[in-house]
Amino acid sequence: MTAKKDPRAAIRAALEVAMAIADAIRELGTVPSGVLYAQVASVLTLEDFLCVVRNLKEAGVVAEANHVLRWTGPAWGGK
């Protein structure tokens, strides 16, 4: 018997990854995108990483210039 994948679990996992990347950028303030990708490369493909970054930029919470990501969104956690 083949186990069916739960699409809700996949969506939840994707959102958790996006939130973790967003939180890392926010905590650091600025970070070279290559340095950040190197930290997540063991669990995330480059294509998926770039997709998350693109979505964060489109949401207006991250800006990128010269391959450096900068948090532009609101502060979280009372900071």
Give the distance from CA 53 to its chain's centroid.
Answer: 6
Question: How much is the pLDDT for 1?
Answer: 45
Tell me the pLDDT tens digit for each residue of 27-47: 999 999 999 999 999 999 999
Q: How far apart are CA 2 and CA 74, in angstroms?
A: 44
Question: How much is the pLDDT for 77?
Answer: 62
Residue 70's beta-bridge partner residues? 30, 63
**Average of pLDDT values for 1-26?**
86
**Average of pLDDT values for 9-23?**
93
Query: Who contacts 53 (Cβ-Cβ below 8 Å, separation ≥6)?
Result: 21, 33, 62, 64, 69
pLDDT over 80 (residue 4): no
